Structure 1
């Protein structure tokens, strides 16, 4: 029996053959030649319009109008999140629901490694700070609020595997597309103030974070995750211990009643349901600290290659990235209109985004967008641009961010075995009818 395959699977396995299977392109021809002949008509028919810049469209590229229709099952009543799996619960946010400068709690993504604790009452919740300190601390949430300066910051927070679904060959793990990212307003205290109160010893090198969630197996001797950061990152004034998001209690699936928010680094360093911070004199060796977890090769590797464990490095700052949040992919302009204002956000781990460019001709030309400064460091940045389309047809809008180091989003990011750090340019489909 012939196995049925989805569009994304076809393109993952052999993008050139997929062109032939989907649009009737003959093998051995490049897409540029294909889009001058019958193939152009076939693709246009599938999209419902002509492609004014089809000649510059890369071979083996799924048009965004088709790629974005391949949505995962969405559980009704869950505020628009796309659920990737239910044990543990993981769900991402469609791009158009990330349009707010401050991500609403109802639209904030969920990334769990274990089973959340049942009792999340802030009353009686304790945080232990110990290890390479002069005085171990045992603090309640009220102690944190009373003893240390309470701050509120807008901070971007992203899963290290965001974008994993875009790698070819595929990498195992949750197949995030673009929505494992949020930018909430977090309230809490600086981790450095708490560590300073405990008195950090000269031997301090790394933190170790522990939460109240349990392992999926139910084995009390196993931890679902326990990661940490270098002391210098823990002492950054933007690394917080928080108990509120957007002025409310943290959502249970987002780590209530207490969590770390370590912005700009993989979300796995921002321990949820926080119960302990241990200061260590070695790099932490907790669950999911060892390669290949949250690690990438130290050098470029061929897609699909096997990499020795010793050749991995732990992910720290996340790469430069951007998202188009308006309009929604598949947008159709009214008849007679060819002007469209687009907008979105850009961010770059520990860095600042300095430029955002957009293209509507598959990267042949680029236009600079208006980019706002962040309200505070580590917040994402709003951008907007106006596009005038030259003629009717099918268009793709691509967004490309550049940070202050000159690092820029690629069209195809470096492949890695675990599917981390995909910062490919985001693209959406737009139809111009006349």
Structure 2
């Protein structure tokens, strides 16, 4: 995407641009209240310049398989199609909320969106290829590549998935978003969508799928999209449990009686509970949970609060999932600034 197009998106309030080239942009706060994010405002994360792939593009499926093959876009379209509604979050979302601020794109809190994706189940392609019995991971390879300060030569974007996640029927090779063909920014003509995982697993501009018999150790598996805490390295995988208040918004003037609304999501299980608190009160109250659009979409919550008298108040939200994971007050700081799911407050005026 050119700078002109990126700046036009910012000018129409469709996206809040974090970096114009390659484009990294957030969903504006005012649009995060929608259960389905407007298509023009689904957040964008790009690591390198956009690759432009032609209509004759094919995806190679190989590695430890019985019958390697390449599949064209018309062949993909002719296969059974599957649709999934997914809340997708950038692993670096909330990086500016960490202290000190780590290196990386200066994401605030809008690098998260919920939308509909459709395409072919990844397992359909893998089953056609015939996986070897010793396959442990499936590698997704993108067409995007470029230089990195801490690597020699150009680095291609690639990430692997454990075989169980790759074979799940709702992990798809997507060709459409919100009922329309993918845009270039969102990975056209085809990308992975991996429900429950942070966005880096949903490899864009997909050119290859490779069955692996040993774990992948590429740049974006061991150097980036890892939790680096005091030199201990762990790969970023499923999205941590998190909540977000969408109403009232930061800085809004409120009456003492206020309706609080927002979303909660987790890659480890359904949302079991959302609690709210005001200022430094030790008492948390339960919010009412609504019904998510799908098993992979954020869960709405709502509660009526009576704010204390005073000029300002801060409303806090805390989510817990069915696996027993709860948002911490503060996360363990990590060098690259991933997975910030610490409890976050919204400051409002009162009166």
Q: Using structure 2 for the length normalisation, give the TM-score.
A: 0.91
Do structure 1's residue 328 and structure 2's residue 249 form an aligned pair?
Answer: yes
State the shift of 1:350 in Å: 3.0
Q: How many angstroms apart in 2 are the aligned matches of 1:418 and 1:391?
A: 40
1:348 match? 266
Q: 1:101 aligns with which of 30, 35, 49?
A: 35
1:253 match? 185
More strand by share: 2
Q: 1:262 aligns with which of 186, 194, 201?
A: 194
The runs of 5 or more residues in structure 2 that have no matched partner are 1-6
Q: 1:226 aligns with which of 152, 158, 162?
A: 158
1:28 match? none
1:319-347 Cα offsets, whole Å, 9 max, x none, are 100111122211113xxx43221211111
Aligned residues: 343
Q: Is the 8 A contact 1:113 1:224 kept in 2?
A: no
Q: How many angstroms apart in 2 are the aligned matches of 1:344 and 1:247?
A: 25
State the shift of 1:191 in Å: 0.8
2:57 match? 125
Moved over 6 A (4+): none
Q: How many angstroms apart in 2 are the aligned matches of 1:209 and 1:165?
A: 29
Q: 1:193 aligns with which of 104, 118, 124?
A: 124
Q: How many angstroms apart in 2 are the aligned matches of 1:131 and 1:169?
A: 42
Cα separation, partners in 2 of 1:391 and 1:168, compared to 1, 3 Å: closer
Q: 2:173 aligns with which of 220, 241, 260?
A: 241
1:33 match? none
Q: Is the 8 A contact 1:103 1:183 kept in 2?
A: yes
Do structure 1's residue 184 and structure 2's residue 111 form an aligned pair?
Answer: no
Q: How many angstroms apart in 1 are the aligned matches of 2:308 and 2:143?
A: 57
The runs of 5 or more residues in structure 1 that have no matched partner are 1-72
State the shift of 1:262 in Å: 1.0
Q: How many angstroms apart in 1 are the aligned matches of 2:301 and 2:342?
A: 17
Q: 2:25 aligns with which of 91, 99, 102?
A: 91
State the shift of 1:80 in Å: 4.1
Q: Is the 8 A contact 2:277 2:317 kept in 1?
A: yes
Q: How many angstroms apart in 2 are the aligned matches of 1:180 and 1:232?
A: 27
1:172 match? 103
Q: Is the 8 A contact 1:127 1:274 kept in 2?
A: yes
State the shift of 1:392 in Å: 4.4
Do structure 1's residue 274 and structure 2's residue 274 form an aligned pair?
Answer: no
Q: Is the 8 A contact 1:355 1:402 kept in 2?
A: yes
Do structure 1's residue 152 and structure 2's residue 83 form an aligned pair?
Answer: yes
Q: 1:138 aligns with which of 61, 66, 70?
A: 70
RMSD over equivalenced CA pairs, Å: 2.2
1:112 match? 46
1:102-153 Cα offsets, whole Å, 9 max, x none, are 111211111111111234x5x3121111111111121122212323x21111
Q: Secondary structure, in 3 states, of the residue corresponding to 2:145?
A: coil
